[in-house]
Amino acid sequence: MPRFLFPIATGLVILTTWWAAHALGAFPIGTVPSPPEVAAAFGEELRSFRLIDDTIASLYRVAWGFITAVVTAVPLGLAIGRFAGTRAALMPWINFFRSLSPIAWIPFAIIWFGIGDPPAIFIIFVATFFQVVLATAAASAAVPKIYYRVAQDMRFDSKQILFRITLPAILPQLVIALRVAIGVAWMVVVAAEMIAVRSGLGFLIVDARNGLRMDLVVCGMITIGAIGIGLDALFARLTKIRSLAWGFER
């Protein structure tokens, strides 16, 4: 059997088990929906475009939170990694904030940003920012000194050192960090939407639960998982870039 069929086979086993257990009455009524009920919910949600709107809403928040976090975290991480003074001053605080679950920020997110996209974006930002700072700092502190000596011989100025030595040298590790971070961001947006907003896949799940629509809950969960796989695959492709291969093939 070709390899790509393996996960499909696993999926069929899960589906069959679920379906059989449901048919045999293994679950109390109303606790677990059957596969056809979930399929019907999918049809309904797709026809009304609600599922698509919710997906777009969630992805929009993740994109904003993730991009703003990366754009600010990478420079800060570089400063921490390259300068011992900055590292000493900031590293304990980065670790302090990193240890706080992003969910703990929800009360502040709502008080500061009200209702709608901004609090959810803020939660994504918090979840991603400290992780990327830490990964960038670790990677840039570990760039071999030899590259900087070569750059000194070549009379590189500080801009050239940044763009032609430090950044390319940390890029493979940064790509891995971004891949981990996008996974966390996606996980967190759903949690944020359960509280702060009235759209998105997280809201879909909470709303469905309030209406006792477990078929819709499962429909939302499947969508979230599938998009999670998609995002991960997208970032995994970055590791295939030719000029980054040196960081992964050793």
Partner 1 sequence: MTAILELHAVGFDYGKNRVIDQLDFSVGKHELVVCVGPSGCGKSTLLALLAGHLEPTRGKIERRGQSRTIYQDGGTFPWLTVRDNIENGLPRTIVGDARMTKVDEWLEIMRLKEFPDHYPHQLSGGMRQRVEIARALAAETDVLLMDEPFSALDYQSRNRMRKELVATLAERPRTVVFVTHDIEEAVQLGDRVVVLGSRPANIRRVLDLPTTRPRLPANPGVAEAEQAIMDELGLS
What is the smallest separation between the CB atom of 144 and partner 1, expressed in angstroms? 7
Phi-psi region of 32 (alpha: psi -120 to 50; beta: other; left: phi over 0): beta
What is the smallest separation between the CB atom of 139 and partner 1, expressed in angstroms? 13
What is the smallest separation between the CB atom of 163 and partner 1, expressed in angstroms? 12
Half-sphere exposure of 95 (CA within 13 A, CB side): 8
Q: Which of residues 125-154 bind partner 1 (CB under 8 A)?
A: 144, 146-147, 149-150, 152-154
What is the smallest separation between the CB atom of 153 and partner 1, expressed in angstroms? 5
What is the smallest separation between the CB atom of 74 and partner 1, expressed in angstroms? 17
- Measured CA to CA in angstroms, residue 244 lies from 109, 140, 178, 239 at distances of 37, 16, 14, 7
Which range binds partner 1 by CB under 8 A, 52-60, 72-80, 175-183, 236-244?
A: 236-244
User: In angstroms, rounded to a whole number, what is the distance separating the alpha carbons of residues 18 and 247?
Assistant: 42
User: In angstroms, rounded to a whole number, what is the distance separating the alpha carbons of residues 200 and 189?
Assistant: 9
Q: Does 240 bind partner 1 (CB under 8 A)?
A: no
User: In angstroms, rounded to a whole number, what is the distance separating the alpha carbons of residues 223 and 190?
Assistant: 11
Q: Does 246 bind partner 1 (CB under 8 A)?
A: yes
Q: Which long-range contacts (CB under 8 A, 24 or more apart) does 147-152 make?
A: none
Q: Does 250 bind partner 1 (CB under 8 A)?
A: yes
Task: Tell which residue, 182, 170, 184, 197, has the closest CA to residue 234.
Answer: 182
Q: Does 159 bind partner 1 (CB under 8 A)?
A: no
Nearer to partner 1, 101 or 160 (CB): 160
Q: Does 6 bind partner 1 (CB under 8 A)?
A: no
CB 132 within 8 A of CB 70: yes
What residues line the site for partner 1 (CB under 8 A)?
144, 146-147, 149-150, 152-155, 164-165, 168-169, 171, 242-247, 249-250
